[in-house]
A and B are shown apart, each in its own frame.
Chain A
């Protein structure tokens, strides 16, 4: 891990009729680092994730500022360049697997599509890549599973498929937008453990977005606290927990049940 940031953003987001959902938010992720972004619902966390992929216009929003990724400013990149980055260098794991997977396409085909978006190759090559990713996320590597439709697997499995799709191309940065919000507690811990393992094994940086400070406390190297459209605190996880500076952070930590254990998930 070196100090040179993988991603460095300075971003504002406006929606028609709702200006400054995000107001000059600054954030950076170093290679191989896990950064947590915590904020309440509606604070613009998901918009930030979409803005990083330059897909915010799908939801009607508009972003301004800079997104430095490696050595280029993504805000100035054309659609063709963005397309070659999405899924390959910056991957996205969405919130609820039920609506993000295509119900009309088999899981295996969906993953093959994601693979072919950036690689051409033989059938065997595609299958090898898909099986490797499926194995990495701890799903059964068999054809019967890949031939299922999204409606035929559990929510936890569907979420793992989405993670497998995200790690297909071994991206440098993974943006996870509350990937555990629709899972039960045990599957939540599983997914966090999985992401942490992928981070260690594949060395990818993770921007982990959540509304739940407790769940990510032991998982992130640094935490950014988003409040009213601004990043009010962005420091090492331990430092944030030991001496929170901003009143909102203090309130967040004060609201946690019992004593917080840090460092137990890694």
Chain B
């Protein structure tokens, strides 16, 4: 188990480094089109060949890794902050706010979130610059991903609400917002970190799903989602297997690492 965790961590680290400095492995920009060489086979110049527009596949894979590996944690951070805010306030304040928040959480959890994601993303403009599409996709994932985490945070804050340490903080005259921020949330931090780590692989997969449907990151910027698109046709060339392979390895690695951290929390 420990060996697998080390392996997973090494793999993620290596991919992260490759994603941060793709220039170390390839000199071709991800959007440069070699018009005379579309669908080129594997060669010295193009280690993974080129796509139908003549773009270097290795370069696209590396830059796509960068988008997915960096944006997913950002989305996870966003949804964890939202979960801390909504769940924390609901559990700590109680009363009508708690009831409203629980109703909203239940409503959002009752909808299958991938469908919700697809519907909402489809309603937003699709013809946007590539960078905006990254923000839109991962922003949306983060904005829709908080309810299940919020529910756990709420349960943690609810037990702390009547605890002696909150009583002491209130008796010192601290305003309620300050008590929540300084005394309640730090004590549910293990829950928050576990939720943050568990969200990352889920969000990577969610982006891949959206990308596969053409609702994710827009061309010419590559992402694991839109790199998977050629698989749709069923006539996928050999190289296309690289994106799902890396995707699978990353998700499995993340899961192994989160599992271990959950054990620590418990």
Contact = CB atoms under 8 A, between A and B. Distances in A.
Given A104-B187, A105-B183, A117 B172 contact: yes
Interface in A89-106: 91-92, 94, 96, 99-105
B3 interface: no
A46 to B, nearest CB: 10
A70 interface: no
Contacts of A104: 183, 186-187, 189
Contact of B174 (A53, A85, A113): A113
Of B161, B173, B183, B189, the most chain A CB neighbours within 10 A belong to B173
Contact of B164 (A84, A100, A118): A100
A83 interface: yes
B175 interface: yes
B160 to A, nearest CB: 10
Contact of A102 (B171, B175, B178, B183): B183
Given A104-B189, A105-B182, A113-B178, A86 B165 contact: no
B169 interface: yes
Given A58-B166, A58-B167, A94-B167, A102 B187 contact: yes
Contacts of B183: 102, 104-105
Contacts of A259: none
A96 B163 CA distance: 12
Contact of A92 (B163, B166, B171): B171
Nearest to A115: B172
B159 interface: no
B182 A55 contact: no
A55 B171 contact: yes
B170 interface: yes
A59 interface: yes
Q: Chain B contact residues (Cβ within 8 angstroms of A): what range?
A: 20 to 34
Contacts of B167: 50, 55, 58-59, 94, 100
B10 interface: no
A162 interface: yes
A100 B186 contact: no
B174 A114 contact: yes
B168 interface: yes
A87 interface: yes
Interface residues on A, range: 20 to 34
A230 interface: no
Contact of A84 (B169, B170, B173): B173
A165 B183 CA distance: 15
B170 A55 contact: yes
B123 interface: no
Interface centre among B171, B175, B186 (most CB of A within 10 A): B171
Contacts of B111: none
B182 A100 contact: no
A99 B172 contact: no
B263 interface: no
> Most chain-B Cβ atoms within 10 A of its Cβ — which of A87, A96, A102, A105?
A102
A211 interface: no
B173 A86 contact: yes
Contacts of A92: 168, 171-172
7 contacts: A50-B167, A53-B171, A91-B171, A91-B172, A92-B171, A100-B164, A104-B189
Interface of A: 50, 53, 55, 58-60, 83-88, 91-92, 94, 96, 99-105, 113-114, 117-118, 162, 165
Closest A-B pairs by Cβ, 10 of them: A87-B173, A104-B186, A87-B172, A86-B173, A92-B171, A114-B172, A99-B164, A100-B168, A117-B173, A117-B174
